[in-house]
Amino acid sequence: MTKTIDAVQDQFETFQILSEDGEVVNESAMPELSDEQLQELMRRMVYTRIWDQRAISLNRQGRLGFYAPVAGQEASMLGSQFALDKEDWILPGYRDIPQIVFHGFPLYQAFLWSRGHFQGGQIPEGVNILMPQIIIGAQIIQAAGVGLGLKKKGKKNICITYTGDGGASQGDFYEGLNFAGAYAANTVFVVQNNRFAISVPVEKQSAAKTIAQKAVAAGIEGIQVDGMDVLAVYAATQQARERAIAGEGPTLIETLTYRYGPHTMAGDDPTRYRTKDLDSEWEKKDPLVRFRKFLEKKNLWSEEQENKVVDEAKEDIKASIKKADGAPKQKVTDLINFMFEELPYNLREQLEEYTAKESK
Amino acid sequence: MAQMTMIQAITDAMRNELKNNEDVVVFGEDVGQNGGVFRATEGLQKEFGEERVFDTPLAESGIGGLAIGLGLTGFRPVMEIQFFGFVFEVFDSVAAQMARMRYRSGGVYNSPVTIRSPFGGGVKTPELHADSLEGLMYQTPGIKVVIPSTPYDAKGLLISAIRDNDPVVYLEHMKLYRSFRGEVPEEEYTIELGKADVKREGKDVSIITYGAMVHASLKAADELEKDGISAEVIDLMTISPLDIDTIIASVEKTGRAIVVQEAQKQAGIGAFVVAEINDRAILNLEAPVLRVTAPDTVFPYASAEDVWIPDHRDIVEKAKKVYNF
């Protein structure tokens, strides 16, 4: 028995292109990206790191609501999103805000979503994303449905969905993989394994050595990727995307990553469950440091460029917060109107009641 | 006009909508080749192909997620939960996802999903097949709940449910599937959701009910007539939202009402109907509004169904109590 499991697990080696020093260790797997595209990837990661720092401080000032920090996971998030076509769908979890912003969701709306304002859920037309999912795993079965819908409509597009290592323990995780496999749906599942589901370490989530190998049970492709290596994440996602639109079925991508910060800004204290040693071990793998070294060797990145992105990010955030501040005060009547296409009697009566109350 | 059983009327409604709109897709466990465990989808896969009518893996939660995803990509999903007792497995998709899609997206997205499912007792199923769980759906903002009691109503209501742009839970009482035939037009027609039907007019007492209990109530009304009591029987047809106008107009006329449901007293919608009558017509009442329900146990084992499920005698008794108050 054990031999069977070992034989499966041993096939899931971590796919890597850049070493921690920014050296190319897997030349044949290098994706075809122009210099401008490489620079854009770096720009997005730097931008997101600054945004994360600002979001944490805005949350502490009470100017932002719910926020799940992303530092450490930039390569996993942005490398995978970079492989998408504009028409592809993203079904995000609540931490996956950078992907949807770079897919076209305005930053000020991300801030409104964080504040719990209804305009934060009003996805603009032509931006194929769902609102960030709160229930762990619910998006995974929905992604099987979106992927099947795209396939049935004959679209050369995919649906990508994100969850974490904890999400891979949900029944919906397996159901989503299994449904997508059974229908060869245009779906790519990304598990960002940041090693902790709030406080519970990944070793306690499952007896499986990798999450990627869970693909085997569903009869779909699975790959484990160095999630701190943006080129590896990009290449793996691009291949999974091509397979899906060629009708070859879905792929499960596990990215090995780490969140430097707390689970969310709502009182989580990572020192209760993580050691400093583990933190510094992962900081050595930092996706920005690694990619910066790679780009510097190619003369594609400088301190000047970096500072420009930092300034740009700060300006954008300032302007976006200002725009979010300008959103109208929420009314009960706004919410009532979004319950049904046509309001039933009880809501019609309540609309009247609250219209009177709120016009006082 | 054709004579159909309720299940034939349900199949006919789906056939109509599959023909009418190429984005309608029908799926669930065993609905394809097998035509459904009750044969509700009999012949549909053969007629419309596997792309439109298809089997799913055996996982209710996955079916719910599939419906949401297909809805987002332009389809009009008609999903089957094989027995409504299995709804707990898919409750997140129904109550936390579809029901909130429009709200959560500030009106940008919707879930035009129809969830068909057999429910209700009296056919001796194993546990967790027959349960009356419609009250859970009633308590969930964002979904409509439809329960037909005749073949005619079943067809018109299902066509409306499929065309509705919000999620509709459409519950089919198993005992009514083949227990009688009724006239059903072959052409298409719709019955507006949220409207009740006065199945029998009367002036002394209103019997407000739905599902299989409509038939027990009609039988009770016949009995009451022999004793000189004229009962009005209101079939709610849609239990969420309620047709409050029809309920109140009837109570204003009769001054007396009972609410009849197969569900337990703490379940179903009886308590909500009583509360609405108190809110809106208490000064018209000549007597308290009473309820005929099953007791507050879990849905019973098959051999105990007959003593557990209310029948026309229970309805006659409560109606007389209200009449003689």
Confidence band, pLDDT 50/70/90 cuts, at residue A316 = very high
Q: What is the pLDDT of residues B187-234, one digit of tens each?
A: 999 999 999 999 999 999 999 999 999 999 999 999 999 999 999 999
Residue B28 near residue B63, CB atoms below 8 Å: yes
Inter-chain CB proximity B97 and A339 less than 8 Å = no
* Predicted local distance difference test score (pLDDT) of residue A168: 97
**pLDDT, mean of residues A143-153:** 98
Q: Which chain B residues are within 8 Å of A177, Cβ to Cβ?
A: none
* Predicted local distance difference test score (pLDDT) of residue A360: 85
- What string of H, E and C letters represents the secondary structure of A194-241? CCEECCEEHHHCCCCCCCCCHHHHHCCEEEEEECCCHHHHHHHHHHHH
Give the residue on A whose Cα is nearest the Cα of B74: A149
Confidence band, pLDDT 50/70/90 cuts, at residue A356 = very high
pTM above threshold 0.95: yes
- How many other C-beta atoms can be found within 10 angstroms of the C-beta atom of residue B272? 16
Q: What is the pLDDT of residues B239-258, one digit of tens each?
A: 999 999 999 999 999 999 99
Residues of B marked active site are found at 129
Q: How many Å apart are CA B305 and CA B299, to the nearest integer? A: 8
**A79 closest CA partner among A114, A36, A118, A37:** A37
Residue A183 near residue A151, CB atoms below 8 Å: yes
Q: And the tokens for A24?
A: 């190319």
**A234 closest CA partner among A14, A77, A11, A55:** A77
CB neighbour list of residue B266: distance below 8 Å, 6 or more residues apart: B296
- How many other C-beta atoms can be found within 10 angstroms of the C-beta atom of residue B286? 13
Give the residue on B whose Cα is nearest the Cα of A186: B69
Confidence band, pLDDT 50/70/90 cuts, at residue A1 = low
Is some CB atom of chain A closer than 8 A to the CB atom of B92?
Answer: yes
Element holding A163 (H helix, E strand): strand A159-164
Q: What ipTM goes with this model? A: 0.96
What proportion of chain B, given as a percentage, has pLDDT over 90?
Answer: 98
Q: What is the pLDDT of residues A105-122, one digit of tens each?
A: 999 999 999 999 999 999
Confidence band, pLDDT 50/70/90 cuts, at residue B283 = very high
pLDDT mean across residues, chain A:
97
Residue A215 near residue A222, CB atoms below 8 Å: yes
Q: And the tokens for A228?
A: 């701190």
- Side-chain half-sphere of A187: how many Cα atoms within 13 Å? 34
CB neighbour list of residue B16: distance below 8 Å, 6 or more residues apart: B155, B159, B188
Q: How many Å apart are CA A262 and CA A299, to the nearest integer? A: 35
**pLDDT above 90: residue B145:** yes
Of B51, B57, B105, the CB nearest to A182: B57
Residue B252 near residue B281, CB atoms below 8 Å: yes
Is some CB atom of chain A closer than 8 A to the CB atom of B23?
Answer: no
Is some CB atom of chain A closer than 8 A to the CB atom of B62?
Answer: yes
Q: How many Å apart are CA A145 and CA A142, to the nearest integer? A: 5
* Predicted local distance difference test score (pLDDT) of residue A204: 96
Q: And the tokens for B128?
A: 């967790």
Q: How many Å apart are CA A141 and CA B69, to the nearest integer? A: 8
Confidence band, pLDDT 50/70/90 cuts, at residue B321 = very high
**pLDDT above 90: residue A251:** yes
Inter-chain CB proximity A135 and B97 less than 8 Å = yes
* Cα distances (angstroms) measured from residue A206 to each of A2, A75, A201, A213, A263: 16, 25, 10, 12, 20
* Predicted local distance difference test score (pLDDT) of residue A308: 98
- Which stretches within chain B are classed as H helix? 6-20, 44-48, 60-72, 91, 101-104, 134-138, 151-163, 213-226, 244-254, 270-281, 305-308, 312-323
Q: Which chain B residues are within 8 Å of A176, Cβ to Cβ?
A: 62, 65
CB neighbour list of residue A61: distance below 8 Å, 6 or more residues apart: none
CB neighbour list of residue B54: distance below 8 Å, 6 or more residues apart: B25, B26, B27, B31, B32, B45
Q: How many helices (H) and strands (E) does chain B have?
A: 12, 14
CB neighbour list of residue B77: distance below 8 Å, 6 or more residues apart: B25, B27, B66, B67, B70, B71, B112, B113, B114
Q: How many Å apart are CA B236 and CA A294, to the nearest integer? A: 69
Give the residue on B whose Cα is nearest the Cα of A158: B73
* Predicted local distance difference test score (pLDDT) of residue A126: 96
**pLDDT, mean of residues A58-77:** 96
Of A131, A159, A172, the CB nearest to B105: A131
Residue B153 near residue B237, CB atoms below 8 Å: yes
| Residue A136 three-state SS | coil
**Which DSSP category does A246 fall into?**
T
Inter-chain CB proximity B73 and A145 less than 8 Å = yes
Give the residue on A whose Cα is nearest the Cα of B245: A345
Distance from CA of A251 to the nearest CA of B (A): 17
Q: How many Å apart are CA B100 and CA B121, to the nearest integer? A: 30
Q: How many Å apart are CA A241 and CA A86, to the nearest integer? A: 13
Using left for φ > 0, alpha for ψ between -120 and 50, and beta otherwise, residue A321 falls in alpha
For chain A, the residues whose C-beta falls within 8 A of a C-beta of chain B are 89, 118-119, 121-123, 130-131, 135, 138, 140-150, 152-153, 159, 171-172, 175-176, 178-179, 182, 335, 337-341, 344-346
Q: How many Å apart are CA B325 and CA A96, to the nearest integer? A: 63
Is some CB atom of chain A closer than 8 A to the CB atom of B68?
Answer: yes
| Residue of A63, A174, A183, A273 marked active site | A273
**pLDDT above 80: residue B182:** yes
Examine the residue annotation and report whether A103 is marked as an active-site residue of this protein: no
Inter-chain CB proximity A141 and B141 less than 8 Å = no
Residue B174 near residue B130, CB atoms below 8 Å: yes
* Cα distances (angstroms) measured from residue A93 to each of A63, A68, A96, A140, B296: 22, 10, 5, 10, 40
Q: How many Å apart are CA A237 and CA A79, to the nearest integer? A: 8
Q: How many Å apart are CA B304 and CA B309, to the nearest integer? A: 9
**pLDDT above 80: residue A2:** no
State the pairing for strand pair B197-200/B231-235: antiparallel
Question: Any idea which residue has 């879930």 for tokens?
Answer: B111
Residue A103 near residue A80, CB atoms below 8 Å: no
Q: And the tokens for B172?
A: 């089919």
